[in-house]
Structure 1
Amino acid sequence: MACRSTGLTAKGVAAAKHPGGITRPVRVGDGGGLYLQITAGGSKSWLFRYRLKGRDREMGLGGADPDGRFGGVTLAEAREKAAEARRMLRDGHDPLDQRDAAKASQEAQEAADVVSVRTFQSVTESMLAERESGWSNPKHRAQWETTLRSYAFPHLGEKDVRTIDTEDVLSVLRPIWPKTPETASRLRGRIEAVLDFAKVRGWRQEENPARWRGHLAEVLPKPQRVKRVEHRPSLPWRDMPVFMQALADRTGVAVQALAFVILTTARTGEVRLARWQEIDWKEAVWTVPAERMKAKRRHRVPLCAAALEILRSAQRDAKGHDSLIFPSPTRGKVPLSDMTLSAVVRRMNEDAGGTQPRWRDVEGRAVVPHGFRSTFRDWAGETRQDGRDVAEAALAHVVRNKAEAAYARSDLLEKRRVLMEAWAEWCLSKPQQPDTGGPVPT
């Protein structure tokens, strides 16, 4: 191997080249066992050569970087490393062995640090696994996991359980406490249970920031005293198969439009004004233009098989590529009115007879078309693990947090496609026993 010994300079390191004519590397000595090694391809690196116990050894010191602009090792840094290696040799230590030992120690420490960091999500999964044999039924376990995954994981999932404090818990609870106090109260109890589990296992030492008595009770109103935000009456999600079966017994454009509203989770105005030119049959996507969206942003809707079937049926009466999909049956080119869609549900309640509406929410109010969006959200939150972002994107909800919005560029179309097929499968499944407080089959 070619080698010549001379003192180096930074400019000399930059200018040094392989002489050519040979394929093996050449070395330029700086003195004291330090060499600049140059390959036939032109790459440069630092090498420290020494002899110990009758053996010649070589230790790489990193890629050469003359002026330190590219993250490599400068001449001055290489000399410092070589000087440190010579000090080890004077003390009777092998520099290579010392470096290997230091690297192994660092890797062991990093591995220990990784193990010691227990995220809220990993602790939740550990707790659910350990309780596997104790659940009264699989649905109860699924409800626990789905609730935590939908509401807690977006805020706490990646947080070390040792660092979760009261403000972290409140960041999860405050947005839903006034809207769905019962769900929020259950969620609080489940977060408390996860953090208690972490403390028992020795993964957390502090007091539980999710405890109610003497803590959160001082800053949050009691769930039973919360004045709920007045939402549109929505059908309990467990009653959807019964409702869809009853809807299927009816005919007409308004019935088709309402079924389409339910299966796409779109707003009624978006459906009433939908036109054939917005449908991409090949991709099974309905694109709602920005001017018709509440957020004034174009929205792509993945069409499940059942929604496509409704469109095929409606297409028989289509008047042209730019015509309305669900026009008024009495006024031709005029779109259906919101009242027409509401009338479908109203007549379904009237035809059922009785003093109580058959199709009602948990408070006994007659449901309205817009409420089916809430029904879908409750179903997704209770039964699916697709994640909050996917369900919110299906509803075309705007990301409120500006920092999150800056990174939320995808509309999650393919993930939403899976979610919407599952929603349609549930809606069109064999009817089950209605939920308590919901409609009673007649």
Structure 2
Amino acid sequence: MPKRILEKSALEISRLRVDGSHAVGGVTGLYLRVVGGSRSWVFRYVHGSHRRNMGLGSYPLVGLAEAREAARAALKLRASGIDPLQARQTQREAARLATARQMRFDDAAEAFIREHEATWRSLKHAQQWRSTLATYAHPHIGHLQVEDINQAQVLRVLAPIWKTKTETASRLRGRIEQVLDWATVYGHRTGPNPARWRSQLEHILADPNKLAPVQHHAAVPVAQLPDTYRRLLTMEGTSACALRFLILTAARSGEVRGMVWSEVDLEAGVWTVPAERMKANKEHRVPLSSQALELLRTQPCTPMVDHVFPSNRRGPLSDMAFTALMRRHALGAVPHGFRSTFRDWAGEMTHHPRDAVELCLAHAIDNKTEAAYRRGDMLEKRAAVMQDWAGYAVSMAPQPAREAR
């Protein structure tokens, strides 16, 4: 058995050629294991009824002094009733988990967008997410680990634009909150969300609704609608025709611009908008008034063109087609405002059931219990609403001359 190693120099240890474990003086249980040309430190101890070997590193990467220090630390754990090897494994696992949890905010934001963009209605929505976060959030917190982001850092993002770009800042806050909530669910952070509004940021930042009150879409007053429709009749072009159809159906701009002939049943007088083109992501049947059907029958059906109101390039009209038309002719409103005009007309000038009117606008029923039991879409009642609405809209339009008897 080789003699005990006491204070051998590095040179003497490296020259040791006898294979086996050599006890190291100064610390009970510390050995230098020699196998061929390799040397490593081992701490041997008994925990309960089990003999344990705890590696402390290879020589010369770990020197004698370091090996003794590590062995003494292990002895203290053992004296406290703790298994040093198990304690080290627990520590390493905790470090591994901590590393696995780490994620920068900009990486978390991109991961969140990738997971959710397939459920969003348009590519534009995902682009807006990336743009606002890249412009306002990433310069301040993009490089930070999501675990380390606190309220002060969120405020550094929001405060500079909260009063000057209130709507953008409010949306940005919500997006940061969603990203941090996502990171929490996936185990990348713990604790309360520093971007949450209720019971948190609402006590620090001014109410965005008071800073920038919601601006409703400019709408044509109910009394002026017939004259507006009459003016549209004098305008040529597909955009004017499509805008008249939008008024007659109280539909959204995108629904009309994307309309294709396969969605229309002229015989039944119904236009079925597929779920993927509806805001609520639910198929919607639109009853067509006699005026709407007459308008569609005047639209040319061109081979190889699917859209009912095609652009010059044979695709759908651009998203600015209606707005540009209304600005050019100073109609004093926006396309979406005609839905408000329809709602005002129905509430102020008719006795049609409120639910039927809301369904004409493809709105959900407020009463969730009633909505859960209702399976129909009130098509017949809505047909009556839309026919009355069309009759009012065209009431100032020139009437075709009657033939003499």
TM range (shorter): 0.3 to 0.5
Q: TM-score, normalised by structure 1?
A: 0.41
User: Could you say which structure has the larger radius of gyration?
Assistant: 2
Q: TM-score, normalised by structure 2?
A: 0.45
